[in-house]
């Protein structure tokens, strides 16, 4: 019994140490964002939160169009998320619950697309979008990502278990067509799965860097991540301001995550187990 | 679309029209933004093109040049080194954390959220923080080294320091994620198996290597493969650290990764054909390493090994039960007399 207790304590010590390592960079970000740059560069460095946070945040707003970038990022993230939720769940519903000629072949093709790294298509994708005249516009951020294989695969696994065949039969008897069945039977049952896919997609688009770096060429229309890097590049010496910008960019997402994160983590793990 | 449309007998394809419509957005988008670009990139990789003028056929010469390009090989070595020094400690740590999480009964959801937060944070912001921690002159790490009487290290000026800095960012972001995945795997293992092993007098180390690890194989394989694919695609870390300094890979190109070389070739130097060729090299590497991973961790044997362990455990449980039953039966028998 005693060794059991010792082991529990050791376990918590290990875990708490890990928590400190996980959280420390955020604390350090706050320390740098709330002190003046000369204070950060002093030796020994200041390790506590200072009083210049709002002043540094103000500098960020003076130097980049922070809220403009945030708005673009928000529109892109929401746009992709809404489209992905609709297209992916609709496809998943069909794949999971209906027999149709070529279904398994189509699903096999879909799975095969997992193998293609996004960077492989980067150059020709850019060329294609340039042909369309989409470079620099929100369309370039939203449309190519509007449906994805991961989401369909994941929602299909979810739909298989979550939607009882009887419900679909009942809807059929009532004379509902396929889309009616999707709306009345599929969507309500799939809601928890949609919540996960929605948060997952939103976070990914919000944090994406390489794609917006390539397609958002207009300096007045940058996403948050690219604008942040510009701040870092041009004013690299004003660390306090750069960190204030970084802090402002991570707070909204972390807030959303802490509120809705519990189920999300369980679903991430469940998703991995299904592969 | 009902089967009884007046213009003909029920047709399986026609009946399935709504389903085809439902799955079509993905396939249409994939055709335009996935399949076509991928096929086009084969064509492009055989040409020299600056993005504006005419495509000039160079054929396989592009690839033979690629294979003799020192920067390309440097980007591969860098990427692999960063991958190894981030992934190995990361997966081992994740396993330790997952074990501790599995045994912890209190604060579980607090731990899970704390461990997951690094993963949802943007790489750009995180890299800026790590960049300042590893900073040559004023970094926290060097201040710490000095305070314990050691010399400063020019982390961001030398090849090894750069790689360690980038690997730390990767490991910091993904350790918690992998721990959560391992935890889910641990929770899927039935406690009966451990009970049976305990009855047999197995030590906790034996249980870990003989039960936990073999039964966790599919999950370990998943994390190894995803870490490989992610590791070969590292870009943002080195771009944020060095992208604005002129040389994309930093001093001595110590942080030049495959994707940053691709990005620089195509979008920095306008060598679109060459960028496409680097993309194909990356694809081949990813396939190659996924196969190696699969072999090393014995992905093909999964079912056999796990079912063997499970069978053995089940037999043992049955035997214990039978022994216990016969004992109580014997006791009752004795009592009756």
- In this complex, is the C-beta atom of B148 within 8 Å of any C-beta atom belonging to chain A? no
**How many other C-beta atoms lie within 10 A of the C-beta of residue B300?**
9
Residues forming beta bridges with residue B48, ordered by sequence position: B56
Better-predicted residue by pLDDT, B129 or A10: B129
pLDDT of residue B300: 52
Q: In the Cβ-directed half-sphere of A202, how many Cα atoms lie within 13 Å?
A: 19
pLDDT for A268 beyond 90: no
Distance from C-alpha of B256 to C-alpha of B241, rounded to nearest angstrom: 11
| B-contacting residues in A 206-225 (Cβ below 8 Å) | 206-207, 209-210, 213-214, 224-225
- Contact yes or no for A28 and B120 at CB 8 A: no
pLDDT score at A236: 56
Over residues B144-158, the mean pLDDT reads: 89
Domain spans, chain A: 1-50, 64-273
**Tens digit of pLDDT for each residue in A16-73?**
999 999 999 999 999 999 999 888 888 778 888 989 999 999 999 988 899 999 999 9
**What digits encode the pLDDT tens for the residues B40-74?**
999 999 999 988 888 899 999 999 999 999 999 99
Q: Looking at CA atoms only, how far is residue B234 from chain A in angstroms?
A: 11
Average pLDDT on B24-52 reads: 93
- What digits encode the pLDDT tens for the residues B231-258? 999 999 999 998 877 778 889 899 999 9
- Please report the pLDDT score of residue A1 as a whole number: 56
Residue A45 per-residue DSSP state: P
pLDDT recorded at residue B299? 54
pLDDT digits (tens, 9 = 90+) for A183-218: 999 999 999 899 889 988 999 999 999 999 999 988
Mean pLDDT for chain B? 86
Report the residue of A10, A15, A239 to disrupt the B interface, i.e. the one with the largest count of B CBs within 10 Å: A15
Q: How confident is residue B331, by pLDDT bands cut at 50, 70 and 90?
A: low
Q: Mind spelling out the 3-state secondary structure of B226-287? A: HHHHHHHCCCHHHHHHHHHHCCCCCHHHCCCCHHHHHHHHHHHCCCHHHHHHHHHHHHHHHH
Question: A149 and B109 in contact by Cβ < 8 A?
Answer: no
B206: preceding bond cis by omega (within 30 degrees): no
pLDDT for B163: 96
Rounded CA separation B51/B83 (Å): 32
Whole-angstrom Cα distance, residue B130 to residue B125? 9
| Average pLDDT, rounded, for chain A | 90
The shortest CB-CB distance from A44 to any of B101, B113, B147 is to B147
pLDDT higher than 50, residue B3: no
pLDDT of residue B149: 87
Q: Show residues of chain B in contact with A25, CB under 8 Å.
A: 118, 126, 129-130, 133, 172
Q: What is the pLDDT of residues B62-113, one digit of tens each?
A: 999 999 999 999 999 999 999 999 999 999 999 999 989 988 878 888 898 8
CB-closest option in B19, B276, B283 to A98: B19
Confidence (pLDDT) at A121:
86
Cβ neighbourhood burial of B107 (10 Å; 0-12, 13-18, 19+): middle
The CA distance from B28 to B26, in Å, is 6
Give the nearest chain B residue to A248 (CA atoms): B125
Pairing mode of beta strands B47-48, B56-57: antiparallel
**Residue where the block lists tokens 């999971």:** A96
Q: Is the dihedral of CA A122, A124, A125, A131 positive or negative?
A: positive
pLDDT band for B1, please (50, 70, 90 cuts). Answer: very low
Q: Is the pLDDT of residue B227 over 70?
A: yes
Q: What is the pLDDT of residue B336?
A: 47
Task: Tell me what pLDDT residue A243 has.
Answer: 93
Q: Which one has a higher pLDDT value, B126 or B204?
A: B126
Test B18 with A25 for CB contact under 8 angstroms: no
Burial of residue A29, with CB atoms counted within 10 A of its CB: 0-12 exposed, 13-18 middle, 19 or more buried: buried
pLDDT (tens digit per residue) in A167-178:
999 998 998 899
Name which of B206, B174, B202, B205 is nearest B97 in CA terms. B174
Quick check: A106 pLDDT over 70?
yes
**Distance from C-alpha of A267 to C-alpha of A130, rounded to nearest angstrom:** 37
Tell whether the model's pLDDT for residue A261 goes beyond 80. no
A20 touches chain B (CB under 8 A): no
Question: Residue A2 pLDDT more than 80?
Answer: no
- Model pLDDT, residue B172: 97
User: Residue A117: its pLDDT value, please?
Assistant: 81
Question: Which ipTM value was assigned to this complex?
Answer: 0.91
A·B CB contacts under 8 A = 288
Confidence of residue A137 (pLDDT cuts 50, 70, 90): very high
Residues in chain A within 8 Å Cβ distance of B97: 14-15, 18
Q: Is the Cβ–Cβ distance between A204 and A194 less than 8 Å?
A: no
Q: What is the pLDDT of residue B104?
A: 82
pLDDT higher than 90, residue A141: yes
Question: What is residue A254's predicted lDDT score, i.e. its pLDDT?
Answer: 87
Cα atoms found within 13 Å of the Cα of residue B177, Cβ hemisphere only: 20
B172 vs A: CB within 8 A: yes
Q: What is the dihedral of CA A199, A201, A206, A210, to 10 degrees?
A: 150
Output the CATH code of domain A64-273.
1.10.3720.10
Model confidence pLDDT, tens digit, residues A67-82: 999 999 999 999 999 9
Long-range Cβ pairs for the range A145-148 (8 Å, 24+):
A145/A80, A145/A84, A145/A205, A146/A80, A146/A83, A146/A84, A146/A87, A146/B25, A146/B29, A147/A83, A147/A84, A147/A87, A147/A88, A147/A91, A147/B25, A147/B26, A147/B29, A147/B30, A148/A84, A148/A88, A148/B26
Residue with tokens 């997402």: A253
The helix or strand, by DSSP H or E, that contains position A73, with its residue range, turns out to be: helix A66-97
Q: What is the pLDDT of residue B131?
A: 92
Q: What is the pLDDT of residues A231-259, one digit of tens each?
A: 887 655 788 999 999 999 999 888 888 87
Chain A residue with CA closest to B229: the answer is A117
Contact A120 B279 (CB under 8 A): yes
Do B271 and B265 contact (CB within 8 A), yes or no? yes
B33 CB within 8 Å of a chain A CB: yes
Question: Which pLDDT score, from 0 to 100, does residue B2 have?
Answer: 46
For residue A209, which residues of chain B lie inside 8 Å, CB to CB? 122-124, 235-236, 239-240
Rounded average pLDDT over B266-284: 94
CA neighbor of A52 nearest in space, from A37, A68, A67, A69: A37
**Partner residue opposite B120 with nearest CB, options A8, A119, A257:** A257
């Amino acid at each position: 019994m005693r060794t059991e207790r010792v082991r529990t304590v050791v376990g918590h010590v290990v875990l708490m140490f890990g928590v400190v390592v996980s959280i420390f960079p955020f604390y350090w970000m706050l320390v740098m964002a709330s002190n003046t740059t000369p204070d950060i560069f002093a030796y020994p460095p200041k390790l506590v939160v200072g009083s210049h946070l709002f002043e540094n945040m103000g500098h960020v707003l003076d130097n980049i169009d922070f809220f403009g970038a945030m708005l673009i990022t928000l529109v892109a993230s929401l746009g992709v998320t809404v489209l992905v939720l609709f297209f992916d769940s609709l496809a998943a519903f069909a794949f999971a619950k209906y027999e149709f000629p070529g279904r398994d072949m189509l699903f096999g093709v879909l799975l095969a697309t997992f193998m293609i790294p996004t960077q492989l298509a980067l150059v020709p994708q850019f060329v294609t979008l340039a042909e369309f005249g989409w470079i620099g516009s929100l369309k370039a951020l939203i449309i190519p990502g509007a449906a994805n294989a991961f989401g369909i695969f994941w929602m299909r696994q979810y739909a298989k278990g979550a939607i009882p065949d009887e419900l679909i039969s009942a809807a059929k008897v009532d004379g509902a067509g396929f889309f009616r069945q999707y709306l009345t039977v599929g969507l309500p049952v799939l809601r928890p799965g949609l919540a996960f896919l929605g948060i997952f997609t939103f976070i990914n688009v919000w944090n994406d860097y390489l794609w917006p770096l390539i397609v958002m060429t207009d300096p007045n229309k940058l996403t948050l991540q690219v604008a942040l890097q510009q701040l870092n590049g041009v004013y690299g010496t004003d660390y306090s301001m750069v960190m204030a910008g970084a802090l402002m960019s991570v707070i909204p997402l972390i807030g959303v995550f802490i509120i809705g994160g519990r189920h999300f983590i369980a679903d991430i793990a469940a998703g991995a187990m299904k592969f | 679309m009902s089967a009884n449309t007046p213009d003909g007998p029920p047709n399986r394809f026609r009946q399935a029209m709504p389903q085809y419509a439902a799955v079509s957005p993905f396939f249409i988008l994939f055709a335009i933004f996935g399949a076509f670009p991928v096929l086009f990139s084969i064509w492009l990789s055989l040409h020299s093109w600056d993005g504006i003028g005419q495509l000039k056929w160079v054929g396989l010469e592009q690839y033979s040049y690629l294979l003799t390009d020192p920067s390309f090989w440097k980007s591969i070595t860098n990427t692999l080194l960063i991958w190894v020094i981030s992934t190995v400690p990361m997966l081992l740590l994740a396993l330790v954390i997952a074990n501790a999480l599995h045994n912890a009964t209190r604060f579980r959801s607090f731990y899970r959220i704390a461990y997951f937060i690094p993963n949802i944070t943007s790489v750009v912001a995180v890299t800026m923080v790590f960049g300042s921690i590893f900073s040559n002159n004023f970094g926290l790490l060097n201040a710490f080294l000095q305070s314990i009487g050691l010399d400063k290290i020019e982390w961001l000026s030398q090849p090894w320091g750069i790689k360690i800095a980038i690997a730390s960012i990767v490991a910091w972001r993904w350790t918690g994620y992998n721990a959560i995945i391992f935890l889910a795997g641990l929770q899927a293992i039935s406690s009966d198996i451990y009970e049976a092993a305990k009855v047999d007098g197995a030590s906790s180390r034996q249980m870990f290597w003989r039960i936990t690890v073999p039964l966790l194989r599919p999950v370990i394989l998943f994390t190894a493969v995803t870490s490989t694919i992610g590791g070969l695609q590292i870009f943002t870390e080195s771009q944020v650290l060095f992208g604005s300094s002129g040389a994309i890979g930093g001093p001595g190109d110590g942080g030049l990764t495959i994707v940053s070389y691709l990005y620089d070739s195509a979008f920095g130097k306008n060598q679109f054909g060459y960028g496409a060729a680097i993309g194909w090299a990356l694809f081949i590497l990813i396939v190659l390493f996924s196969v190696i991973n699969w072999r090393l961790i014995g992905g093909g044997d999964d079912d056999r090994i796990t079912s063997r362990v499970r069978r053995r455990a089940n037999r043992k449980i049955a035997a214990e039960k039978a022994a216990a039953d016969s004992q109580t039966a014997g006791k009752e028998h004795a009592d009756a007399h």
